[in-house]
Amino acid sequence: MDDDDLARRRKRSIAIALVLGALVVLFYVITIVHMGPGVMNRPL
Amino acid sequence: MSDVTVDIAAEAQQGWQVPADAAHLGGRGSVDDYWKLMKPRVMSLAIFTAAVGMMVAPGSIHPVLGLVAILCIAVGAGAAGALNMWYDADIDAAMQRTAKRPIPRGNLTAGEALGFGAILSFGSVIVMGLAVGWAAAALLAGSIAFYLFIYTMWLKRSTPQNIVIGGAAGAFPPVIGWVAVTGSADWASLALFAIIFMWTPPHFWALALYKTGDYERVSVPMLPVVAGAAETRRQIWLYSLALVPVSLLPWALGAAGAVYAVSATVLGAVFLLDAWRVYTRRENAAADRAARKLFKYSIWYLFLLFAVLLVEQGIWPALARGLGV
């Protein structure tokens, strides 16, 4: 595996990390949108 | 300790040397290769037409969920593109137009494209179902399956009607966008489907006219290869004649207004003029130029038609409400 391959692998890894991070944020926002104000309405 | 474990441990000490022929095993593609696998140009048209379907549909959707729906449609379209490139890798390598795609170039393996496309297909449908609705998710799954199984695997290599029937796959996005908002498809959404469906044959056949050699080389039975250029020109003209009245269906069904009707008529007239030139100019460079012109204009035609619909039915009413007009 030469330097170019390693550089491409590094960029792929960063891209996958960014996509996974974006998905976490997305699912969080979707949950809030679906639950609306009800997200605060839960027994302690 | 088994021999395998010993081998792995020995390799680990040497820094995991990858064999020289590892290109066949994959793992060498760039982010850009994966991006190209998703056919970004086709994806952009799917995004745009889906957005128009959502904006024109009666009713409303939470903006975040609307964006999620668009994202799912975009990813689903990209996944279908990747699966198409996986299956067509053999003929892509032999066609000038597609020889620089990531798999023929050796940047990605067919297996990587299959895995990428399958994961994105599954992910886009699941997220669409959970976040937006299962009716839209079912349509998205259906459109991906149609493109892969019906068009790519079956029709493309077996009949000159491949892009006529296969064009349905590209016509799904506005209906999916519509269903994401309303939960069901009605006649007006099917009118948007019909426009793209009727637009696809003259659009693709114009391209096939000046790329006939490509398709001939790989034995894909595109109309010019099977029936000849003259018959293709005749079919382009007939489909173009049918496209113009179909483009007025949203207006006839009450989903579009006068601005759209006038725009569709003018844009359709130019389309007919270009199609007529393809039909009548059959010699050498002039014939080639006419086909290229129609192909390029057909992209602008669809974009402008849907853009007018978007402005008239989506953006302008929202602005008018905001301004209190």
Give the distance, in angstroms, between the CA of residue B73 and the centroid of all CA atoms in the same chain: 11
Single pTM value for the model: 0.86
Mean pLDDT on B234-241:
96
The ipTM (two decimal places) reads: 0.86
- Please give the structure tokens belonging to residue A15: 């891209």
- Contact (CB, 8 A) for B65 and B92: no
Q: Which residue has the higher pLDDT, A29 or B315?
A: A29
CB distance B291 to B210 below 8 Å? yes
- Give the A-side interface with B, CB within 8 Å: 1, 5, 8-9, 11-12, 15, 26, 29-30, 33-34
Query: Could you tell me what percent of chain B has a pLDDT over 90?
Result: 68
Q: Using 50, 70 and 90 to split pLDDT, how confident is the model at B212? A: confident
CB atoms within 10 A of CB B117: 24
Residue A37 is classified by DSSP as: G
CB contact under 8 A, A34 and B29: no
**Residue whose C-alpha is closest to residue B313's, from B240, B267, B266, B253:** B253
- Range of lowest pLDDT (B25-34, B77-86, B113-122, B123-132): B25-34
Interface test with B, best of A6, A12, A14, A32 (most B CBs within 10 A): A12
Q: Which tokens in the block code for residue B25?
A: 């095993």
pLDDT confidence of B21, banded at 50, 70, 90? very low
Q: How confident is the model at residue A44 (pLDDT cuts 50, 70, 90)?
A: low
Is a pLDDT exceeding 50 seen at residue B197? yes
The answer on pLDDT for B222 being more than 90 is no
Interval B126-147: pLDDT, tens:
999 999 999 999 999 999 999 9
Taking CA–CA distances from A14, the nearest residue in chain B reads B31
- Average pLDDT of the segment spanning B83-109: 92
